[in-house]
Every structure is written in structure tokens, then in C-alpha cells.
A and B are shown apart, each in its own frame.
Chain A
Amino acid sequence: MSNEIAILGAGMHPWGKWGHNFVQYGVAAAREALADAGVPWQDVRFVSGGATVRCGYPGYVAGATFAQALGWQGAEVNTSYAACASGSQALAAARNKILAGECEVALVIGADTTPKGFLAPAGGYRPEDPDWVRFYLGITNPTYFALYARRRMDVYGDTLEDFAAVKVKNSRHGSKNPRARYRKCFTAEDVAASALVADPLRLMDICATSDGGAALIVSSLDYAKKIGKGNAPRVAAISTVTPTFASGVVEMPDIATDSAAAAGIEAHSFRSMLPLKAYEEAGIGPEDVSLAEVYDLSTALELDWIEDLQLAPRGGAAQLLRSGDTAIGGRIPVNASGGLACFGEAVPAQALAQVCELTWQLRGEAGDRQVEGATVGITANQGLFGHGSSVIVRK
């Protein structure tokens, strides 16, 4: 396919709550990716960074910040901000540059240092800011995850045991991932004993925020062949579509959905629209997928994603989970990395971390968590309202 690029190298700084400057995580990830690719830093002609909004001005110009930290060498830079999809948009920018013939090799990079506790909005009386409104009314991030989870229970018959089983599965996967923050194998009893945060979700159903950094070295297929890496995994599709009006699922930080009252307008689910473009662009379907890395901000949300990716019919994800099909060794392993359950979220790095995992899996280098015979992987990710992504990587 003419719109593919090669993934020559992947690197990650381990996730945790280290409290260091985010730049150092990014540099560590970049150096690992460069070494993995066998590409000298001076050959990288484009540095595409995912922005962090939590780390001051250097985070707003992340592309330049990392280029400077690695040593200015005259490459062009870019910084993308798209909330949780920032890494995917940075990857898309690098792909465009490569496919336009403007550069052969690019570094895509994201890193974050997260503060402790809730992220509260600015004070005062600011009803024009939806984030202010929802916090004023007592609606936090877990509220939204819990609304989706409860709807699954009442509409599809999912149970608390199903949600706990997602955590148990992902913790088993993550226990085999040296880059994961949480590596303990939790049990269903551990989940049930954790504090209720937003019914039906408990503390262990909800992902934490973490520090971390991830990087990819990507290139044209010609360049990959030239350096003897013609068999490197390829980015076959990147979808960063916006929702289609009317967006019918209430999304953070909004207090209401779009109205679908106008003639010719239907309510759509944004999450389910995201992979459509990815499948179309890659020219494949869900039946071709070997494994998926999805954004499990909550345990229940992993089940929504499985259906959004069409890996199970609507309402059928829990059955897939119960039969063991989403575990490593099953038919379609989901979150073989351990997912956000074991990493916590480092926003600008997370979508890239998903692609790093697929890269290692498709190369057969995932060690104890290897998905045997993996040839095609897909990611899914979504953050604040209109931001999300789905990336397909294949051999």
C-alpha cells in the first residue's frame, strides 16, 4: 500500500509516579527507540511531539523541547495537541511528512509528568466553561465511565464480576511487562474489596494517572529497505476522525449531548466511528486483527471498545471475555501490554505506547506476554469529547 510507513524502532521509559521532569522520560524513550532502530539521531529530519499541558511552556512546544534535549541538529519540528489522541496525531504528522517525500526518518515522541490528585479547573464563576460547570455540579471523570458501565449492566446484563475479570486479566498481562507501573496479579476479591468510587465502579476498575514517555522511529518503506529493515512492522492506518453530529453519548466534560432533533440527523457513537476509517484505510476488517490495545480508562470501557472495534457484536464483549478469548492465548487478546489498568495514563505518551506494544508483538519480541503468530494489531483511544484515534499496525 502506498500510504504505509515503517516502524524502525520503539522505546518507552517505564510508567510510574516518578515526579521527574517529563523531558527526561521522553529522552530515555527516544534513545531506546533510536538504538532499537539502529538509526543515528542526526539522520532524523522531523521530530513530532505530543504536547503536555501539565508541564508548562516546554510541554506546549514538546517537539522542539525534545529536539533541543537530544541536541539541536536542524531537523524540523511539530507539536500536536489532541488530548489522549495527541500521540496519534503526532504520528499522523510524521506520516504525512514522510509520504509527502519531505523526510525519510522521523521521531514521534510523547512524555508526561502528572500532578497528584484531581485536576481541578480554574476557580471563580465561569458557566461558559463546561469543565467548570460539571465540577460545580459534582460530576467528575469517573462519573462518565460509571454511566457507560451501568448502562452495560442494565442493557446487556454485564456484571460486576465481568468488570473485575477485565482487571484480573489485564493485571496478569501487565505482570509480564517490565515497563508497566502496576505488576501485581490482582484477584476478583481484590477488586471487590477496593473502595466504591462511582457506582458500579471501584477504585481498581478505574485507571490512575502516571508519568511515562514513549517514542517511535518511523520511516519511508524505501529507507527501511535501504538499511535492511524491509520487514519492519508498518503503520497501515491512522484514524483521528472527529465525531459525526449528532454525537449521542455524553462525553467528558459536557453536561449534555448534541441534539438529534433536526431532520436528517441521527445520533452516533463517536467511539464506534473511530475504527471505521482505520479499517477502510488499511483495507482490512475486524476478522483480520490478531490483537488490540484499547483505552481501558475503566474496566467496563474495555468491553465497549471491543464492540466498537467490531471484535464482538454489540453487547457481546462480556461473553468474549468470559470465554477467555481476550486473554493472551485466546482468540483475540486485548491489552496484552496490561493496558491502562497496569500503566495508568500518561496522556501524550499513551497512544504511542499502544503502538510500541503492537510493534514488539508483531516482531515476536514481547517475551512472556507474546501473542503467538500476531500479524495485525489495532489500537483505540479516546479522550476529551472530539479527540480519539485508532491505529493499525501490520507485518
Chain B
Amino acid sequence: MSEKPLVPAIEGWYTMAAKPHLIGTRCEACGTYFFPKQHQYCRNPGCDSTDFREVELSRTGHVWSYTNACYQPPEPFVAPDPFEPFAIAAVQLEEEQMVVLGQVVAGIDVADLKVGMPVELVLEPLHETDEAIKVTWKWRPVDLEK
């Protein structure tokens, strides 16, 4: 196991806790959530607020749909050698009423997934640099071990 430090692949988009959350913003006037964060203008056409608060988004949701990447994506994706296919899920967050994409944890393929399945947010390596292991958010089925 590498002794490199774990650092976020994208700074400020998620907490680095054991039970991590995506960090979004919420409009103080109308309650619309934004991920990625939005601080300048509210995109609700009925709201002209410029007042936003950073919030941690729900770390659980239900699978809206899912797929995988069988071919190596182009840069800036950093691929392991050899390339390993990975699954991707679009996840519906109830409270926020939005769908967020992300990779699915290693070892889970499309055969293990189903629309409507409950999942939770975890952190896993995206790639390594000389100095650090860059981690990102990934979706993980909640009922994995039973």
C-alpha cells in the first residue's frame, strides 16, 4: 500500500471524512441546491437572489441509471496501465431533487446494479501522482455486504 497522502482530485467539491459528503450550495431565498457550487446567481427563473450558503448534500440516494466505461476515456482522465473498465451511476438525491453522476466503487459492475437501488457516497482513488493519491467521490451500493 502506498504511503502517499490522500488528497481531493477536485479541491473543495467534497468533504474528506470517513462518511463524506459532496459540497454544494443552497440559495437562501428559494432553496434551490447547486452542485457544482454556485455563489453568484440563482438559476431558478423565479428567483434573483445572490445569497448562497455552502451545504453538504445528502450522501445517500437511489440509482437513476447506470453504465460503464469499457474504453479508456481521453485526457484529462488518468488511466491505470492496463486500463480497467469501471461502472458509472447517475444517482437521484431526494432532498435536493437532483441527479448526480459519479463512478461506482471498484469491484462493482453493471450486473450488480439496478435502477432504484440505494447507494451511498464514498471516496476512492481516481489516480496517483508522484506526491499523492487523488481521491474522488464514488457511489457504492448500500446493501453490499449481506
Contacts and interface: CB of A to CB of B under 8 A. Distances in A.
Contact of B69 (A143, A256, A267): A143
**Top 7 A-B pairs ranked by shortest CB distance?**
A146-B67, A154-B115, A259-B33, A260-B97, A151-B65, A120-B74, A147-B65
A151 B64 contact: yes
A1 interface: no
Given A138-B88, A140-B73, A250-B99, A262 B13 contact: no
Interface in B49-80: 64-71, 73-77
A121 to B, nearest CB: 7
A138 B77 contact: yes
Contacts of A150: 65-67, 110, 115
A262 B30 contact: yes
Interface of B: 9-11, 13, 27, 30-36, 43-47, 64-71, 73-77, 86, 88, 90, 95-103, 110, 114-116, 126, 136
Given A135-B77, A151-B115, A245 B69 contact: no
B97 to A, nearest CB: 4
Contacts of A137: 77, 101-103, 126, 136
A151 B47 CA distance: 32
A197 B72 CA distance: 10
Main secondary structure of the interface of A (DSSP, over half): loop
A36 interface: no
Contacts of B30: 262-263
A256 B65 contact: no
Interface string A136-156: 111110110011111100110
Nearest to A154: B115
Interface residues of A, number: 51
Given A135-B75, A147-B90, A256-B101, A262 B32 contact: yes
Given A138-B77, A147-B65, A256 B98 contact: yes
Contacts of A117: 74
8 contacts: A130-B36, A142-B67, A148-B65, A150-B110, A257-B100, A259-B34, A261-B33, A261-B97
